[in-house]
Amino acid sequence: MRLDTVVKFYSESERHYDPKAHGYVGGAVLVATVMANVTELGTNRSMELLGSYTANSKVVRLVDSVPSKWSYLMIGDKKYRLQTSRQTQKMTSLLVGEG
């Protein structure tokens, strides 16, 4: 398995509403940058796991542990949110969907 894709984890915990500014302040903070193995989720497997075909779902496999608090991850210039995860002795697998 090749870890050939850069994955960046971001946290939005600093973002909050400021009544003086009449809007949200703060933003996404980069939590971690790791190398991962990223593959597309097949149609059959998507139907089994999610009950529907979801376009642009990916499986992200990490040898390192996932940061404890993160809101979304970036693969290239696309934002993905966590759908489900699985932790084994050797690696962490994340099923993420675009959005």
Compute the Cα dihedral for 47, 56, 65, 4 and give only its sign: positive
* 51: DSSP letter: S
Cα 32 from Cα 66, distance rounded (Å): 9
**33 and 12 in contact (C-beta within 8 Å)?**
no
Digit-coded pLDDT (tens) for 13-24: 877 788 888 888
pLDDT at 75: 95
Digit-coded pLDDT (tens) for 22-71: 888 878 889 999 999 999 876 656 556 555 555 678 999 999 888 888 99
> What single string gives the DSSP state of each residue in 19-33?
TTTTEEE---EEEEE
